[in-house]
Structure 1
Amino acid sequence: MLTTIRPEMALSEPLLKLEGVRKYYPIKKGVFSRTVGQIKAVDGIDLNIYPGETVGLVGESGCGKSTLGRSIIKLEELTEGRVLYQGQNLAPMSMSQMRSLRTDIQMIFQDPYSSLNPRKRIVDLMTEPMKLLLGLSESGAVRQAAELMEVVGLSAQSLGKYPHEFSGGQRQRIGIARAVGLKPKLIVCDEPVSALDVSIQAQILNLLKDLQKQFHLTYLFIGHGLGAVKYMSDRIAVMYLGKIVELAPTEMIFNAPKHPYTRALLDAYPVPDPHSRNKPRIVLEGDVPSPASPPSGCSFHTRCPMATQQCREQEPALTGQQELVACHYPLMDDAAVRIAAAAHG
């Protein structure tokens, strides 16, 4: 996997390393709530994230992106696998054991309306974690909260207000300030702009980039908007039905995707280029299979125009050199896409 990162990062150890991460939810039925099946939300993820980089995580709704993010910070307990943060396995840790690492790993949530307690003033929401986890005094925490409000583009005088007195974009700025205030090394960004007005999204993305440089942050950036993920990410991992099907530097993903699913996602993304109309496209048809009963073999074969009997029977491994792809017949050029599109319809 080292071949998919920048050369300078290959010399460093991963800040976060995921090995065989799985998160299954039991399906229970009957009076006695017997377990009759499992929903495989995250199904065997291997991923390295290096200090200072941003790894984007994309895929359709329900593919397991947010579940993976929540599992990393132990808001969800893993079914199987290891989450190694600077060599420490977080998976078996209790909540009390995780407390010492809460300052290192933070999360920015998708919904700025529900991630802030409406009954507390912003000053309390900002200072309580600092006092509890950093050991700051009341005055020191308030001073740092005021500085952080200025850093994220809000007035320090607004610390006395309640969340309902702010707009959605302002609330997300407060959520970002809370995360950065604990001086973390890694921040999991769970679709941080998807709930915001389009006119505000660019401001928040620019803020995240500025804070990354200022505080030397590492991001796992989860999103389904390809434009935002492209702007933020050094590398992109594409998820489908709980698995990573392609992992590569951002330029490779957008210029020469190898997996048919990645190409279909890009073909569905609107580009302001009239010449792109003449390019062959892969159009996805049908619904995503249920994670409670995923297909045999390649999980994408039920919607893939290139699927063969091998795809239906044998699961492809995530392999490659500069670009890792889980596909028996990776796309090499537009000619392959044209053939696949013609076979599809």
Structure 2
Amino acid sequence: MTLLFSPLTLRSRTFRNRLWVSPMCMYSAVEGVPQSWHRTHLAQFASGGAGLIVAEATAVTPEGRISPRDTGLWTDEQRDVWAEIVSDIHARGGMIGIQLAHAGRKASTWWPWAEEQGSVPADQGGWQTVAPSAVPFEGFAPTEALDAAGIDRIVAGFADATRRAVDAGFDALEVHGAHGYLLHQFLSPLSNVRSDEYGGSLQNRARLLLRIVETVREIAGPDLPVLVRLSATDYAEGGFVPEEAAEVGRWAIEHGADLVDVSSGGTIAHPKVQLRPGYQVPFAEIVRAGGRVPTGAVGLITSAAQAEEVLASGAADAVFAGREWLRDPHFALRAAHELGAEVDWPPQYLRARWR
């Protein structure tokens, strides 16, 4: 038995292995509704043996979308299409979660392959963005600071989206507090210069995230796993740091989360990052040890042996991968083959199991 292919139980869900699919935006939705692309894209990972598939950053309000092509969960139509996708995943023996998100000051942007870049103008379908403070992201349109009523509306948006996610049958929920989006914007001193109860101290900067985690847990009930994705560092002087992420991770667990999915960056436009295999794994280890919480590690993890070593080292309890799943939607089956792990294969693929 390998660590990578040992099951992991969070609350009422037991995931068949610890090689999971990171949420990855497809920028292919229409009015927040997932399309046939999403259905095929996500279902293939279940056939490929993923332990958990986390669907892309899904906006809890229209204004929370990163781009006009992002998926959403603010309407029943969106919920119903997501439910069909969940059913597809379950039919293939997989489990699926969804990342609930609000992009804050990084909303209303063009999708990556658009001819234009930066913020989408209002006359082309863009909208006014909101943030903890009126500090725009470099190169993006001005943003507005949220007042108390606006913050309450954000919490209500997460609550409504959680209800729809539960109704759609998702196996896990992830609160997106990373990559420079709204909840990370509150956590980082670089984007949060408020002087009220949501700014200043780490406890104040984490207040909105923890309110939302508590709300999601209350609505999800006692059985459904809740994950929180954090960026452990801003890669900038005066920004959010791993030791703070460990503390916030511990608070998140105390407020009802079950695992911290540790990533990095997103607050500044041009961070100096030394990309290398597993470059974010040390952050997961710091959060796991410092916060004494279960973690997921991510970041250029591309092989079975590498993923196994992440778990063996004690850095994390699960391994997320992104690009490698895009290159090979059957990454888990290949990894099991390479490690000699006994796993269930789809009967249609059995001929490839050993030879």
Bigger Cα Rg: 1
TM-score (norm 2): 0.37
Larger strand proportion, structure 1 or 2? 1
TM-score (norm 1): 0.38
Bigger relative contact order, structure 1 or 2, given CA contacts below 8 A and separation 6+? Answer: 1
